[in-house]
Chains A and B, each alone.
Chain A
Amino acid sequence: MTAEIGQFSLILALVIAILQGTLPLIGAARQNVPMMKFGESASFAQFLTVSLAFVALTVAYVESDFSILNVASNSHSLKPMLYKISGVWGNHEGSLLLWVWILALFGFAVAAFGRNLPYSLKARVLSIQGLIGVGFLLFVVFTSNPFERIDPAPFDGRGLNPLLQDPGLAFHPPFLYLGYVGLSVTFSFAIAALIEGKVDPAWARWVRPWTLAAWSFLTLGIALGSWWAYYELGWGGWWFWDPVENASFMPWLAATALLHSAIVVEKRDALKNWTILLAIIAFSLSLLGTFLVRSGVLNSVHAFASDPARGVFVLAFLIFVIGGSLTLYSFRAPTMKGGGLFAPISREGALVLNNLFLSSAAATILLGTLYPIFLDALSGTKVSVGEPYFNATFLPLALPLVFALALGPFLSWKRADLKGVLSRVKFSLAFVAFVLGISWWLTDDGPFLAFFGMGLFAWLVASTAIEWAGRIKLFRTSFKSSWNRMVNLPRSAHGMTIAHLGVAMIVLGITASEAWQSEKLEVMRPGESSIVGGYEFRFDGARELKGPNYDFLQGSFTIFKDGAEFVTLYPEQRVYASPPMETTEAAIWPMMSADLYVVIGEEDGKGGFATRIYHKPFISWIWAGAIAMFIGGGFSLSDRRFRIGAAKKKSSASHTPEAATGV
C-alpha cells in the first residue's frame, strides 16, 4: 500500500509542478495577481506530495518491504536501523527522490521566507523552480521509479554496499544535495531577473542568503565525502581528483565565485551580468555533476546503475537547461546597465580577481574531467587524467588566490590605498617568518612547496586576524569599547573572518599532511614494534570476531609515546555476508598535531599480518577548516540584513562606513 501512495504522490507532484512551472509565469507576464499567487500554494502542495512520497519510501525501508524492487535490491532485514534509513538514498532511485524532495523543500522555503519579494519576481522564481521540478519528476517517474514492485517478493534483500554503511556517508548525500539543489534557487532568481530585465542591489540581497546556504551545505557535503574516503577506504588519502569528486568541486568553485560577486552587485550595483552568468554556470555544473554521477558515464561507488535511457534523459535535460538559459542570457544581458565605477585596486577589483581565479580553476577541472569522456566517445582511446594534471593546473591558480585573499578584505570600495594596506600587514610578514622558522626547526627538510604552503598559511591567518582586529580597534581603544564594536560588527563580517580562517586551516592541513607524512608498510608478527612519526606501534595480535551483519578480524596495536603507553588502536578487516564483500576499517587516532592511522591486512600464512601505519601531521585541520567555513557561512546567513523586513533599513545603512566594510 505504501508503495502505491508514494507512486500516486509522485505523479500528483508532477502535475502540480507542471502547473507551477507555467501558470505563475503567465500570470507575471499579464500582471495577473491570482495566477502569480498560485506559485506559492503550488510550492506548498509540491513539497507536501513529494514529502509524502519520500516518507512512503522510508517506511518501506524501515519495514523492509521486499515486494518493492528498490528495497529488495538495496536493503536487508538484518541491517541496523540507521542504515535502513540512509539506504533510502544509498541507491540511484532513492537518491533522485531525495534530490526532488530537497528541490521541493527549497521551493517551499522561497515561498515561505520570501515575503518581501515583489509578486512578479517571486512568481517567476517559483515557476522556474517548478520547471526544474518537472524535469526531475519526469526522470524519476519514467526512468527511475523507486516504487516498482517485484513479484514474487524475495525472502530477504540483497543489502546495501557495506562501504556505504557508515555514519559519515549516511549524511554526505543529504548535505551535498542541499548544496547542489540550493543553487537551483540562485539559478531561478537569475532566470527570473533575466526575464524581468532588471538586476539591482535588492535582487542581490535576496539571492545572497540562498547562495550562502547552498555554498555552506556544499562545503560540508564535500568535506563529509572526503572524510569518509579518508577513514573508510583505508588508503590514507582524502582526495583523489576522481571525476565524481570533481563533479562536486566544480559547482563549489562556481558557488564560491558567485558568493563573492553577488557582494559587488549588492554593495556597488556592478558586475551584474557576470553574476547572473555565474548563477547559471553554478547550477549547470550541479546538473552536470548529477549527470556525470547518475548516468553511468563514470563508474565508481556513486554510479549505482548504468542505464543508457537515463543517461540520454539527463543529457537532454542538461542541454535544455544550459542551452535555454544561456540563450535567454545572450538576449537579455546586453540590455542591463552596468553600475558603479571602480579602480583596479579596490575591493571590487579584488573580488573580480577572486572570480577570475575561481572560474579559471573550475574550467581547468572541467576540461580534465570531461576530456577522457570525449576522447573515449570520439576515438575510443581510453585515458585517465589524474592527480598530476590537477596538481599542475589547480595549485598554480589556487596559490595566488589564497595569497590575494589575505589582502582583499583590507581594500576599500571604489579605490583603495595599497600602500596603506601593505603597511597594515607588516606584522603578517613577521608571523610568516616565525612560522617558517618553526617549520624549519621541527623538520629541517621538506619540499620548497611545503614551506611556501606554511608561509601562505601564516600570511592568511595573520592578515585575517589583523583585519578583524582593525575593525574592532583592538588595543587601539579601551577593551570595553573594542568589545562593544565586536558585538555590533555585522555578523557577516565575523562570518567572513571565520570562513577565511577556515581556508587557512585547510592550507595548513594539506601542506603539512602531504609534505611531512610518514608511512610504513610491513609484515608484523604479534609482539613486534615499528616506529613511525616518533611513535612506537606495538602489534599485540589479531583475533576473529562477529559483528551485527559481518565477521571481522581485529588487530590490536598499542602505541607508545616517549616510552609511555599512549593509546591502543583496533583496525579491522570485515567480511559482510550480504552483499558478500570485504572492507578495511582503518583505526585512526586524531589529534591536533597529527593523526595516527593503522590498517591491518591479510595474514601471510606464517603468523604475520600485512600492516600499514601512517603518521599524518595536521591532517584533521582539513576537515576542521571546512567546518569553519560552514560555520562562517552560517554566521553570515544570520546577519540581520538578510532577515525578513530588514531590507528597508539596509538601503540607508549601506552608506555608513561600518556597513560598507561588512561583507
Chain B
Amino acid sequence: MTRKRRRLYIVLSGMAVLALAASLILMSFEDSLVFFRSPSDLVEKPVPVGRNFRLGGLVEEGSVVKDGVEIRFRVTDLAESVPVLYRGLVPDLFREGQGVVTEGQLAEDGTFVASSVLAKHDENYMPPEVADSLKEAGHWEPEDKK
C-alpha cells in the first residue's frame, strides 16, 4: 500500500467517525438542551406541559411544607412565584430565602414537578442564572454575593 493510499484510508475513517459524532450530536442536541426559566420568564413565555426545563430563583419565605419525603415550596424571583413539588431529600443548603435551581416539568395544574433540586455548595454561592434573573426583576443586592 502506498503512503497516499494509507492517508486516504485514515482520512476516510476519520471522516466516518466524525460524521458519526456529528450526527449523534445533532440527534441529541434538540432533546437534551435544558433551558433555564425564572418565574417571570414563565409568565411571559409559558412552557408546554411535559417539557423539561430548569426553574430557578429563591425559595419563598414561609412556603416550604414537608410531608414525609415530599416537599412543596414556591420558587420566586420576588416578582412572580411558581409552586414546586419534589419527592426526595433536598440538598444540604436548601433553605427559605436561599437561591435554588430545580429541574423538571410543569404538571397540568401549573405545579412544577421537580426531578432534581440542585445543591449550592456554600452559603455565599448564588447560582449565576438565579443572580441574573433577580437582577432583571430588580431585586439584586450585590452584598449578597459576599
A423 → chain B, closest Cβ, in Å? Answer: 25
A377 → chain B, closest Cβ, in Å? Answer: 12
Q: Is the CB of B6 within 8 A of A342?
A: yes
B84 → chain A, closest Cβ, in Å? Answer: 17
How far is A522 from B69 in the complex, measured between Cα atoms in Å? 6
Q: Is A581 part of the contact surface with B, judged by Cβ < 8 Å?
A: yes
> Which residues of B in the span 13-52 have a Cβ within 8 Å of any Cβ on A?
13-14, 17-18, 20-21, 24-25, 27-29, 31-36
Q: Is the CB of A582 within 8 A of B36?
A: no
Q: Is B127 part of the contact surface with A, judged by Cβ < 8 Å?
A: yes
Chain A residue contacts of B7, Cβ below 8 A: 338
Q: Is A579 part of the contact surface with B, judged by Cβ < 8 Å?
A: yes
How far is A109 from B118 in the complex, measured between Cα atoms in Å? 43
Chain A residue contacts of B34, Cβ below 8 A: 383-386
Q: Is the CB of A382 within 8 A of B129?
A: yes
Q: Is A533 part of the contact surface with B, judged by Cβ < 8 Å?
A: no
Q: Is the CB of A299 within 8 A of B127?
A: yes
How far is A234 from B93 in the complex, measured between Cα atoms in Å? 13
Chain A residue contacts of B32, Cβ below 8 A: 385-389, 392
How far is A300 from B128 in the complex, measured between Cα atoms in Å? 10
Chain A residue contacts of B122, Cβ below 8 A: 161, 163, 301, 579, 581
A341 → chain B, closest Cβ, in Å? Answer: 6
Looking at B1, B35, B122, B123, the one whose CB has the most chain A CB atoms below 10 A away is: B122
Chain A residue contacts of B20, Cβ below 8 A: 360, 396-397
How far is A582 from B89 in the complex, measured between Cα atoms in Å? 13
Given A235, A364, A389, A579, which contacts B123 in the complex, CB threshold below 8 Å? A579
Given B1, B68, B89, B93, which contacts A612 in the complex, CB threshold below 8 Å? B89
Chain B residue contacts of A196, Cβ below 8 A: none
Given A353, A397, A581, A599, which contacts B21 in the complex, CB threshold below 8 Å? A397
B66 → chain A, closest Cβ, in Å? Answer: 6
Q: A342-B6, A396-B20 are in contact. Are A389 and B68 (CB under 8 A)?
A: no
Q: Is A601 part of the contact surface with B, judged by Cβ < 8 Å?
A: yes
Q: Is A370 part of the contact surface with B, judged by Cβ < 8 Å?
A: no
How far is A252 from B45 in the complex, measured between Cα atoms in Å? 41
Q: Is the CB of B24 within 8 A of A341?
A: no
Given B13, B33, B54, which contacts A353 in the complex, CB threshold below 8 Å? B13
Q: Is A418 part of the contact surface with B, judged by Cβ < 8 Å?
A: no
Q: Is B72 part of the contact surface with A, judged by Cβ < 8 Å?
A: no
Q: Is the CB of B89 within 8 A of A521?
A: yes
Q: Is A195 part of the contact surface with B, judged by Cβ < 8 Å?
A: no
Q: Is the CB of B88 within 8 A of A357?
A: no
Q: Is the CB of B93 within 8 A of A299?
A: no
Q: Is the CB of B89 within 8 A of A610?
A: yes
Given A357, A389, A602, A604, which contacts B29 in the complex, CB threshold below 8 Å? A389
Given A299, A360, A386, A523, which contacts B68 in the complex, CB threshold below 8 Å? A523
Q: Is the CB of B69 within 8 A of A610?
A: yes
Q: Is the CB of B13 within 8 A of A612?
A: no
How far is A477 from B91 in the complex, measured between Cα atoms in Å? 60
Q: Is A352 part of the contact surface with B, judged by Cβ < 8 Å?
A: yes
Given B14, B27, B90, which contacts A356 in the complex, CB threshold below 8 Å? B14
A261 → chain B, closest Cβ, in Å? Answer: 12
As a 0/1 sequence over residues 51 to 67 of chain B, the CB contacts with chain A under 8 angstroms (1 = contact) are: 00010000000000010
Q: Is A138 part of the contact surface with B, judged by Cβ < 8 Å?
A: no
| Cβ-closest chain B residue relative to A162 | B122
B92 → chain A, closest Cβ, in Å? Answer: 4
How far is A612 from B35 in the complex, measured between Cα atoms in Å? 29
Q: Is the CB of B69 within 8 A of A521?
A: yes
Q: Is A143 part of the contact surface with B, judged by Cβ < 8 Å?
A: no
| Cβ-closest chain B residue relative to A395 | B24
How far is A352 from B9 in the complex, measured between Cα atoms in Å? 11
How far is A360 from B24 in the complex, measured between Cα atoms in Å? 11
B138 → chain A, closest Cβ, in Å? Answer: 17
Q: Is A583 part of the contact surface with B, judged by Cβ < 8 Å?
A: yes
How far is A367 from B24 in the complex, measured between Cα atoms in Å? 12
Q: Is A608 part of the contact surface with B, judged by Cβ < 8 Å?
A: yes
The total of interchain contacts (Cβ-Cβ below 8 angstroms) comes to 118
Looking at A338, A353, A383, A385, the one whose CB has the most chain B CB atoms below 10 A away is: A383
Q: Is A580 part of the contact surface with B, judged by Cβ < 8 Å?
A: yes
> Which residues of A in the span 546-599 have a Cβ within 8 Å of any Cβ on B?
579-584, 599
Q: Is B107 part of the contact surface with A, judged by Cβ < 8 Å?
A: no
Q: Is the CB of A522 within 8 A of B68?
A: yes
Q: A299-B128, A582-B92, A610-B68 are in contact. Are A389 and B28 (CB under 8 A)?
A: yes
Chain A residue contacts of B125, Cβ below 8 A: 299
A663 → chain B, closest Cβ, in Å? Answer: 20
How far is A385 from B3 in the complex, measured between Cα atoms in Å? 41
Q: Is B119 part of the contact surface with A, judged by Cβ < 8 Å?
A: yes
Q: A386-B32, A388-B28, A604-B66 are in contact. Are A583 and B92 (CB under 8 A)?
A: yes
Q: Is the CB of B36 within 8 A of A343?
A: no
How far is A367 from B92 in the complex, measured between Cα atoms in Å? 31
Chain B residue contacts of A580, Cβ below 8 A: 123
Given B25, B68, B89, B128, which contacts A393 in the complex, CB threshold below 8 Å? B25
B8 → chain A, closest Cβ, in Å? Answer: 10
| Cβ-closest chain A residue relative to B121 | A301
Chain B residue contacts of A579, Cβ below 8 A: 122-123
How far is A610 from B6 in the complex, measured between Cα atoms in Å? 63
Q: Is the CB of A385 within 8 A of B69?
A: no
A606 → chain B, closest Cβ, in Å? Answer: 9
How far is A601 from B92 in the complex, measured between Cα atoms in Å? 9
Chain B residue contacts of A386, Cβ below 8 A: 32, 34, 103
> Which residues of B in the span 77-108 have a Cβ within 8 Å of any Cβ on A?
87-93, 103
Chain A residue contacts of B128, Cβ below 8 A: 299
| Cβ-closest chain B residue relative to A415 | B1
Q: Is A233 part of the contact surface with B, judged by Cβ < 8 Å?
A: yes
Q: Is the CB of A381 within 8 A of B35?
A: yes
Given A300, A338, A356, which contacts B3 in the complex, CB threshold below 8 Å? A338
Chain B residue contacts of A344, Cβ below 8 A: 9, 13
Chain B residue contacts of A235, Cβ below 8 A: 91, 119
| Cβ-closest chain B residue relative to A612 | B89
Q: Is the CB of B36 within 8 A of A384?
A: yes
Chain A residue contacts of B87, Cβ below 8 A: 521
Chain A residue contacts of B21, Cβ below 8 A: 360-361, 363-364, 393, 397
Chain B residue contacts of A163, Cβ below 8 A: 121-122
B30 → chain A, closest Cβ, in Å? Answer: 10
Chain B residue contacts of A521, Cβ below 8 A: 69, 87-89
A361 → chain B, closest Cβ, in Å? Answer: 8
How far is A393 from B21 in the complex, measured between Cα atoms in Å? 7
B103 → chain A, closest Cβ, in Å? Answer: 8
Chain A residue contacts of B27, Cβ below 8 A: 392
5 pairs across A/B with beta carbons < 8 Å?
A: A235-B119, A341-B6, A356-B17, A363-B21, A396-B20
Report which A residues bind B (CB closer than 8 A): 161, 163, 233-235, 299-301, 338, 341-344, 352-353, 356-357, 360-361, 363-364, 367-368, 381-389, 392-393, 396-397, 521-523, 579-584, 599, 601-602, 604, 608, 610, 612
- Contacts A393-B24, A397-B20 known; 12 new A-B pairs at CB < 8 A: A338-B3, A341-B1, A341-B2, A344-B9, A364-B25, A382-B132, A386-B103, A388-B28, A392-B27, A392-B32, A581-B93, A599-B89
